[in-house]
A and B are shown apart, each in its own frame.
Chain A
Amino acid sequence: MSEVKTSPNPSDAVDNGSVGIVVPQDFTSDQPFTFKSGQTIPGFNIRYETYGELNEARDNVILICHALSGNHHCAGRHSPDERKPGWWDNIIGPGKAIDTNKFFVIGTNCIGGCSGSTGPSSIDPTTDRPYGKNFPSLTIHDMVQAQKLLMDHLGVQALHAVIGGSMGGMQATLWAILYPSFVRRLLAMATTAREGAQAIAFNEVGRQAIMQDPDWNQGDYPEEGGPRVGLSIARMMAHITYLSDASMDRKFGRRKRAAVANGDVLNFDIQFEVESYLQYQAQSFINRFDANSYLYITRALDQFDLGHAYGSLEAAFAPVQAETLVVGFTSDWLFPPEQNRDITIALLRAGKRACYAELATDLGHDSFLLESEELYSLVRGFLERPAEAVVDFSI
């Protein structure tokens, strides 16, 4: 077991309530990792960040699981001039809803990803070339298994909570199933127990955009090249599914770029602000995301169906010991409230302690990233309430 370093130093705080400057860390395993498919890789790396201090009992740990396009950088900044803080900086920090004065928060990067953890863009030691399409097929299960090895490496004895939105919610839910005595609380937001046809369909459009780009070249492309057009189209399309009609209309309406505002220019250059926004999102995405990782992770999402994997959702949840809170958002049409309710109902039917709260927002799927005092107080209330004895009344 290695020494656990707590990366943020309180004196480095760049603004109030922030975890300050954080340094990503790497857990490198030289043991072979076997995927659910049975395929193995000779070793792997998981990149992660930590915020707050691990207590003596090593059980004040909160694990944050990220969504498809996210990564381990949840809070704070890597340098004082980093333009934006981590993706969930609004909720993680000293005194915030996920309070780093109380909890030791770990943000991990998924295996199969491209932000420092081993994935399709990593070098296959057996060929000295990127894995590309030869990377083993990936599931949410594999992401959780790799995270568990990280927890073991850090000497974590129990997770006070595992938290995730969207794909992170799938990982969090699976954590509570696979390691029931390890996970005390489960907070899953804007997620599903079963990737539905619509979500698979959107993923497939993204994958086709990538694979139809000649630069994809069957997944064999140089580090700085690859299917940039295909990946940017995939990202633009996917990004729309994270928003809503109302939120886009409020943010952009029919506003036009200044250059074309004075008249209807009949050409196909960017005219509307919303087009410009999507282009910007796509550009920033292709500079940080690997196309093969996108293919692999969306496939992992598609494969996710707990009811099918375990026979029924109630059977899937039978081992769960965690107290659960599921949060749905009214305007989320990617993983709509009903799919979040289904998780809660199945847990309750299986005799588990599970709460469901639904926040009325118009921000779509990305609502779980919302800056909302209501959401903060719900999350804080769930994480900080005293523990209850586990009572199992399975039917």
Chain B
Amino acid sequence: MKQPVEKRTVDMQIIGEWVEPGTRVLDLGCGRGALLTYLQQTKQVTGIGVDMDFAKISACVQRGVTAYQGDMHEFTREFPDGHFDRVICSHTVHELSDPTDVILEALRIGKSVTVGFMNHGYWKNRFDSLLRGRKTRNAVYTTEWFESRPANPLTIADFEHFCQVKKISITRRVHLMGDWQKPCLLFPNLFAGYALYELSR
């Protein structure tokens, strides 16, 4: 089980590089607070996490991460424009019931927004559905279809198109190869396993 930890860590390092020290960060879908703990320790951020699950919030409380149990749509509506320096949606967007609403709200309450997601256009993921005819599984997304939450898989091309349609400017993008470590410079929609975007209004 070493692999998923490493994959997660790369993601966290890049997000961490984009975060300005001492800023106010909101993590939508914070899980057990691993990313916010990392950002608190390395960037001294003031972090708030939001998640739906009691056990995850309890874990955050225990490790000293400020966390709110509830619906992220309702949560974001409670804050004024630009309240946070950065809003992060890492490993979250594909599970959102209304991704447009969440990302636009994130852009309203955050000065910048970081989105990280697994690219379903990656050739191996295409292979999974095209040839194997099975749900994509890998070191991070390990579960069978019947053990998984409802998901709305997206690709890099989908996300770039979304930003274009919604007139969201992309200020930074990083595409990683299938190992989620080496940068992918060519045909990312086919060869990148993971994508990270920094957005602003």
The interface of chain A, by Cβ under 8 A from chain B, is 325, 341, 344-345, 348-349, 353-360, 374, 377-378, 381-382, 385-386, 388, 391, 393, 395
Task: Collect the chain A residues with CB atoms within 8 Å of residue B75's CB.
Answer: 345
10 A-B pairs (CB sep. < 8 Å): A325-B61, A344-B68, A355-B57, A356-B57, A356-B70, A378-B61, A381-B58, A385-B61, A393-B24, A395-B80
Distance A385 CA – B64 CA, assembled complex (angstroms)? 7
Specify which of B66, B78, B80, B83 is in contact with A355 (CB 8 Å cutoff): B66
Q: Mark B44-88, 1 if CB is under 8 A from A, else 0.
A: 001010000011011111111011111000010011100100000
The interface of chain B, by Cβ under 8 A from chain A, is 24, 46, 48, 54-55, 57-64, 66-70, 75, 78-80, 83
Question: Nearest Cβ in chain A — how far from B78, in angstroms?
Answer: 5
Specify which of A345, A357, A386, A388 is in contact with B54 (CB 8 Å cutoff): A357
Specify which of B55, B61, B64, B67 is in contact with A386 (CB 8 Å cutoff): B64
Q: Is the CB of B68 within 8 A of A359?
A: no
Task: Collect the chain A residues with CB atoms within 8 Å of residue B48's CB.
Answer: 348
Task: Collect the chain A residues with CB atoms within 8 Å of residue B58's CB.
Answer: 357, 374, 377-378, 381
Specify which of A354, A358, A377 is in contact with B66 (CB 8 Å cutoff): A354
Distance A388 CA – B61 CA, assembled complex (angstroms)? 12
Q: Is the CB of B69 within 8 A of A356?
A: yes
Task: Collect the chain A residues with CB atoms within 8 Å of residue B83's CB.
Answer: 349, 395
Distance A377 CA – B57 CA, assembled complex (angstroms)? 11
Given known contacts A345-B78, A357-B69, A358-B70, A382 and B61 CB-to-CB distance under 8 angstroms: yes
Task: Collect the chain B residues with CB atoms within 8 Å of residue A357's CB.
Answer: 54, 57-58, 61, 67, 69
Of chain A, the residue at the smallest CB distance from B84 is A393
Task: Collect the chain B residues with CB atoms within 8 Å of residue A377's CB.
Answer: 58, 62
Distance A348 CA – B76 CA, assembled complex (angstroms)? 12
Task: Collect the chain A residues with CB atoms within 8 Å of residue B80's CB.
Answer: 349, 395
Q: Is the CB of B54 within 8 A of A360?
A: yes
Q: Is the CB of B62 within 8 A of A355?
A: no
Of chain A, the residue at the smallest CB distance from B85 is A393
Specify which of A344, A374, A393 is in contact with B55 (CB 8 Å cutoff): A374
Q: Is the CB of A355 within 8 A of B70?
A: no
Task: Collect the chain B residues with CB atoms within 8 Å of residue A391's CB.
Answer: 46
